[in-house]
Every structure is written in structure tokens, then in C-alpha cells.
Amino acid sequence: MPCFAQKKWFHNADSISKPRLIGVVSGASSITIVTLVTLNEYWYKGYPRTSLHSFDDTKEWEGMDKVGHGFTSYYCGVLGYNSLKWAGVSEKKSLLYGAWGFMYLTGVELLDGYSAQWGFSWADIAANTVGSGLFIGQQLLWKEQRIMPKFSYLSTLHTNLRPELLGNGGIQEVLKNYNGQTYWLSTNIHSFLNEESKFPKWLSFSLGYGASGMLGGHENPAFNSKGLALPQTLTRQKQYYVSLDIDLHRIKTKSAVLNGVLKAVSWFKFPLPAVEFNQRGVFFHPIYF
């Protein structure tokens, strides 16, 4: 493919491109249908069904699952918005339809609502609203994302104790083991300064939140699903972090492909030194993932 064609492919269309728009709508519809059907077959089908009902899960997992909901809703919005802009859709309509993440997660919530094991969570809906609002609000206010949620993960031994709940390696562990997750709000400093400022455009200040010592949603059980005794010495605690971050999507190279890659992985918190605050004291990490 000629270099010129590559550049046009990686840039937003100047006006609505029907082939691109058809691809975006088809892709989003397919992903939504396939993932919801897959969730229903492999996650919910093994549990009894009931009528639509709600439940209060605000105190589960020290709030980590709620932060995760907001994070997911934010980036589903980013994906929907950027996909529509790439197809040539206007700014206003791209923002409106970019709320796909909120609608998609509401569908997942309805599956919860019909499962006897869980229920429709208004707290989840609130977290989804905050995540979508963070993206849409900044786009309306600044026409850019100055404050970005980020994610980092470090494997923990908790998964060995309850792999059926916290995951058994790979992506399953990353998604289910809240003990190893940290969510960040990374604020780009230069974006709040004058454009002429010499302050590095790629440097950000980041606040993080995590939790550990959790073998269950509300409390740590005495036994796992196999009847094996679980340690009762683990202390459930919330953890707060202060760190710097590298805003990868503001690093521009001469390669459109590389710029796209940097933008695609910019939701990961870059490993850098961090200070942790928890109920046991203050701790310094030379490198924190």
C-alpha cells in the first residue's frame, strides 16, 4: 500500500465515509451481540434465573469493581467516539453515539438483573455514568482528554487460594483478581499551561487506587469451593498512590502506525516510582506496576 494511502487510512475522514461507517456500525453491533451472548452462555447460564431485581453491592470488593465499571465505560466511550470520527461523523453525533459504552454495560447489567446469583446494581449504573461523563464532559469542555483513567496490574498470591473466583492465570486473572489491580487518574500537566510552555507535553501526574487482602466480595470466607481452609490472617485494606506517568498518546512520531500503537496502549499506567498510603503506613515503590 502506498505511503499516501496509509496516511489517509489512519486519519479521520473529512466527511462521512459510507464504507467506514458501515464497518464501524457492523463491528460495534457484532461485538455487542457476540459478547452478550457469550456472557449469557458461559457466565450466567450455569446459575438459576429469576425475575428482574436489583441488589446493593456498594460495599463489595472495597469498591474496586465500581472503579472498574467507570474505567470500562470511559474507554468504551473513547472507542465509540474515535471510531465514528474516523468514519467522518460530526463531533456532536460522535459524542452522542459514543455513549455506546454506557448502553453496552447497561445490557450486561440487565443480565445480572435476571440472575438469582446477582442483581441489577444501581451503583454499577452510577459508576458507568461517571465513566461516560468523564469522557464526554472533557470533550465538550476542552475538546481533548486532559484527565485519563489508567490501569496497571501485578499478579498476587490470592489467585492460588481461590482460583475459581479470582482467576486461574492469564487474562482471566487480570480481570477477576481485584487484589492485583490499580486504577489511576492521570492528569496531563502541560494541557493546563500555556501552549508556549516548555514543560514536557508527555508528563502527567497520577493518583491511584487499589485494594488487597480480599478473598471474597464482602468478607474473606473460611473455606474455598473445594473445602480447603483459607488463611484468616489477611487484612482487607484500601491503598492510595501518588506517581508520575507518561502520556503516550501525546508522543508524536513520523510514523502514523506507531502513533496509533502509542494511542492504543495509552490506557496503561507507565511503570514509574510511586508512593503508597494505606492503613499500615506510607511506602515507597522504586517501580510500581
Tell me: pLDDT of 86 over 90: no
The 3-class secondary structure across 56-123, one letter per residue, is CCCCHHHHHHHHHHHHHHHHHHHHHHHHHHHCCCCHHHHHHHCCHHHHHHHHHHHHHHCECCCCECHH
Q: What is the mean pLDDT of residues 181-198?
A: 94
Widest CA span of the chain, in angstroms?
64
d(CA 246, CA 62) in angstroms, rounded, equals 28
| Amino acid 103: pLDDT | 79
Cell of 147: 484527565
Q: What is the mean pLDDT of residues 248-276?
A: 89
Question: Of residues 271 and 107, which shows the higher confidence score?
Answer: 271
Question: Of residues 277 and 265, which shows the higher confidence score?
Answer: 277
pTM: 0.88
H-helix segments, the chain:
3-10, 18-39, 64-86, 91-97, 100-113, 122-142, 158-161, 163-166, 170-176, 256-264
The residues near 245 (Cβ < 8 Å, ≥ 6 apart) are 150, 184, 186, 203, 204, 205, 206, 269, 270, 272
d(CA 210, CA 238) in angstroms, rounded, equals 6
Tell me: pLDDT of 91 over 50: yes
pLDDT in tens, 52-85: 888 888 889 999 999 999 999 999 888 888 888 8
Contact present, 245 and 150 (Cβ < 8 Å):
yes
| Amino acid 9: pLDDT | 62
Tell me: pLDDT of 245 over 90: yes
| Amino acid 8: pLDDT | 65
| Amino acid 42: pLDDT | 62
| Residue 271: band (very low, low, confident or very high) from pLDDT cuts 50, 70, 90 | very high
Query: CA dist 274 to 47, 236, 242, 271, 281, Å?
Result: 41, 21, 6, 9, 14
| Amino acid 190: pLDDT | 95
Tell me: pLDDT of 5 over 70: no
**Among the ranges given (7-11, 118-122, 200-204, 232-236), the one the predictor scored with the smallest mean pLDDT:** 7-11
- Average pLDDT over the chain reads 87
Q: What is the mean pLDDT of residues 217-235?
A: 84
| Amino acid 2: pLDDT | 46
